[in-house]
Structure 1
Amino acid sequence: MQTNLADFIKDTREGHEADAILRSCVHCGFCTATCPTYQLLGDELDGPRGRIYLIKQVLEGKKPTAKTQLHLDRCLTCRNCETTCPSGVKYGRLIDIGRKVVEDQVPYSFSQKLKRTALKELLPRKWLFTPAMKTGQLFRPLLPQALQNKVPRRENAGSWPTRAHARKMLLLDGCVQPAMSPNINAATARVLDALGVQLVVAPKAGCCGAIRHHLNDHDGALDDMRRNIDAWWPLVQAGAEAIVMTASGCGATVKDYGHLLEADPAYAEKAAVISGLTKDLSEIMPAFEAELEGKLNGKISKRVAYHPPCTLQHGQQIRGKVEGVLRAVGVDVQLCGDSHLCCGSAGTYSVMQPELSYQLRDNKLAKLAETKAEMIVSANIGCLTHLQSGTDTPVKHWIELIDSALTATH
């Protein structure tokens, strides 16, 4: 694709990156066939190829409109198109650049600004979000359905292991997951403890930066990333083997720290190291398959449907590992039809674009129901909460299934 970027961006870092991405696109349209929003809306401008054209026009100097903004905001950033693309177009990076440029030229309405500001100021701050979530859970039966969908029932996290091990890994506690589903990280710590690995949480680490970044607050996101690097660095220097991610959305972002901070001379080198150490939990566990099989084979009799989050299968390009671990310990795990498609959660998308989000959720749940599974498992807090809001079938993180079986054997 030929480009002629406007003066306001062509000599910037973002401009150089966007230009390279645009030039790699060959207009083939393969991406359109796997785009969830195009499948729902049937509009070329609500598919990756159409959005790429819109971004190209804006970067070449055409004035964007509210309609331009709407088409870009309807994108889930699921990155299914990147998996499909034969040319390796880095669409996720391009949409982030394009949205920021459009927002700078087309301000949101007051109500939209209020909602976006609330999300980026509340969600990443655990000291604000946790008491707000606990209050919501206390009064959950009185809340309207739309809010109940965002407030999972309270659960007990159980105990955190206290044994010390020679092998140590860091764990990103995250911002919303500890309040919404505290058992996920505790279950991960218990499972790894049983396998001789100690999980360590750096107290000053917090939101990975994804929330602010995808709401166009790129500077705020970079500050979140720098804070995490500062919190982890002493522990990395002390010999931590890996930084474990139990939320695939966080993992996709932290693995990108090296790229996002490469222009920061104070953090570029450290950010690259952090990204290299970052592993999704499903990348850690296969090394323990044989040991787990010995402990658990035949202990889990449930048929389970696995929903692979977009941030895992498309963002991180990790497929098959969760299913492999579960099958190794004897779980009957099924993938539903169209398992490559997004469930509609997509970070804050379910708040910003609820109609499309719930359509995608219901489509996904219908496919999952066809597996006749007793439980749905996934690997990202957003997917878990979103799917659970539409079904009575239990929806859990896959590590919770292993943890409960290990606990039952003691």
Structure 2
Amino acid sequence: MQTNIHPKFEQRSDIDEAESILRSCVHCGFCNATCPTYQELGDERDGPRGRIYLIKQFLETGDISEVSQTHLDRCLTCRSCETTCPSGVQYGRLIDIGRDAMEHQLERPWRQRAMRWALRKVLPYPARFTPLLRLGQVFKPLLPGRLKAKVPEYQKALPWPVTRQPRRMLALAGCAQSAATPNTNASAARVLDRLGVSLVEAPKAGCCGAVSYHLAAHDEGLDFMRRNIDAWWPEIEAGAEAIVISASGCGAMVQDYGALLGDDPQYAEKAARVSALAKDLSEVLLQEDLSRLESAQSSVKTAVHCPCTQQHALKLNGTVRQILQQAGVPLAETQDDHLCCGSAGTYSILQPEMSQTLLGNKLQALTGDHPEQIVTANIGCQMHLATRSDVPVRHWIELLDTPSQ
């Protein structure tokens, strides 16, 4: 695809990368076949190929319309198109660049600006998000139906094992997950302890930066990344084997630290090291001797939901199913595994109509074989699926955290 970038964008440090991605697209349209929004709306501008043309037009003319902004906003950034693309177009990176440039060019209505600002100033900060979540949980019985469904049940944090193993790995505490489902990392710590690994959290590490970065606040997102690197670095220098991430959305972001901070002279080398150490929890377990774990001894028929970030960004489709099969968990058959559940970070809040449509489709695809529970690998998906699921939704690691340990 030939490009001619407008002079106003020439000073952007990422414009050459955007131009290279644009030129790699051969506009074949294979991506539309696996794009959730295109499949629902049938509008070329709501598929990857159409959005690539919208970004190209914007970067060449310097102008963006509210209509184009709407079509770009509807993108889930699920990256299913990347898995499908025969040319290896890095669509997720391109839309991040395009959205950031768009935010500087076209001012949003004040309601949109306020909502996006509030999401950036609350969700990434557990000290702010947790009290609001607890307040919602206390008054949940009084809330209207739709809002009530969005408030997860209170989860009492279970204890972590004593740090005793010679092998150590770091855990990303995260933001929403640490407040809403604290037992995800606690279960991971207990399972890894039985495998001879102590899992530890760095107290000063926090949000991975995805919320800010994907809301086109790139500098803010990069600051979160730098703070995490600073918090993890002493443990890395002390020999931590990996940074274990139990939320695949966060994992996809941390694995991009090296690329996103590649031009930062102070952090580039450290960021590359962090990205190399970042591992999804399922990836870590598959490298261990799982025979050392007791069987899950679960007779509960389980549907496995593989988040978009796990299968399309991390390229780990099927790892959770493989682990649970080894553990003896009876698995239900599912359909359309490549399609997004509609959570997509803040998408379920900013694009509620499309998000709910996709959620209904995903629950139908997950429950056709009548499972008794659903497991997933990402906190956003877990909370989103639970709002309308008729069966419990859990993180998969909890199935391996047997009571006898």
Letter of the 1:288 partner, please give it. Answer: E
How far apart are 1:11 and its partner, in Å? 5.0
Letter of the 1:135 partner, please give it. Answer: L
Cross-structure match for 2:352: 354
Cross-structure match for 1:106: 106
Secondary structure of residue in 2 paired with 1:160: coil
Contact persistence 1:78–1:314 (CA under 8 A): yes
Question: Structure 1 325/128 Cα, relative in aligned 2: closer, same or farther at 3 Å?
Answer: same
When normalised by structure 2's length, the TM-score is 0.98
Contact persistence 2:372–2:392 (CA under 8 A): yes
How far apart are 1:401 and its partner, in Å? 1.0
* Aligned match for 2:323, one of 303, 322, 325: 325
Letter of the 1:399 partner, please give it. Answer: I
Q: Which is worse superposed, 264-273 or 53-62? A: 53-62
The root-mean-square deviation of aligned C-alpha atoms, in Å, is 1.2
Contact persistence 2:261–2:268 (CA under 8 A): yes
Cross-structure match for 1:296: 295
Deviation string 1:57-96 (CA, Å, 9 cap, x unpaired) is 0000241111110000000000000000000000000000
Secondary structure of residue in 2 paired with 1:333: coil
* Aligned match for 1:336, one of 313, 334, 337: 334
Gapped regions of structure 2 (runs ≥ 5): none
Contact persistence 1:151–1:180 (CA under 8 A): no
Letter of the 2:310 partner, please give it. Answer: L
Deviation string 1:154-194 (CA, Å, 9 cap, x unpaired) is 01221111141101000000011011111111111111112
Is 2:88 the partner of 1:75?
no
C-alpha separation in 2, matches of 1:262 and 1:132: 36
Cross-structure match for 2:88: 88
Deviation string 1:285-332 (CA, Å, 9 cap, x unpaired) is 113354246x216x1222110000001000111112111111011112
C-alpha separation in 2, matches of 1:162 and 1:343: 37
Deviation string 1:358-399 (CA, Å, 9 cap, x unpaired) is 000011111111021111000000000000000120000000
Letter of the 1:353 partner, please give it. Answer: Q
Contact persistence 2:8–2:62 (CA under 8 A): no
Cross-structure match for 1:4: 4
Cross-structure match for 2:314: 316
Cross-structure match for 2:378: 380
C-alpha separation in 2, matches of 1:342 and 1:17: 27
How far apart are 1:147 and its partner, in Å? 2.5
Letter of the 2:183 partner, please give it. Answer: N
C-alpha separation in 2, matches of 1:34 and 1:335: 20
Contact persistence 1:307–1:335 (CA under 8 A): no
C-alpha separation in 2, matches of 1:117 and 1:125: 13
Letter of the 2:91 partner, please give it. Answer: Y
Secondary structure of residue in 2 paired with 1:264: coil
Is 2:205 the partner of 1:187?
no
Is 2:218 the partner of 1:218?
yes
Is 2:234 the partner of 1:234?
yes
C-alpha separation in 1, matches of 2:103 and 2:160: 43
Cross-structure match for 1:154: 154
Letter of the 2:233 partner, please give it. Answer: W
Secondary structure of residue in 2 paired with 1:37: helix
Is 2:227 the partner of 1:207?
no
How far apart are 1:144 and its partner, in Å? 2.4
Gapped regions of structure 1 (runs ≥ 5): none
Cross-structure match for 1:370: 368
How far apart are 1:350 and its partner, in Å? 0.2
Cross-structure match for 1:15: 15
Counterpart mapping for 1:164-175 below 5 A:
164-175=164-175
C-alpha separation in 2, matches of 1:335 and 1:144: 34
C-alpha separation in 1, matches of 2:79 and 2:208: 19
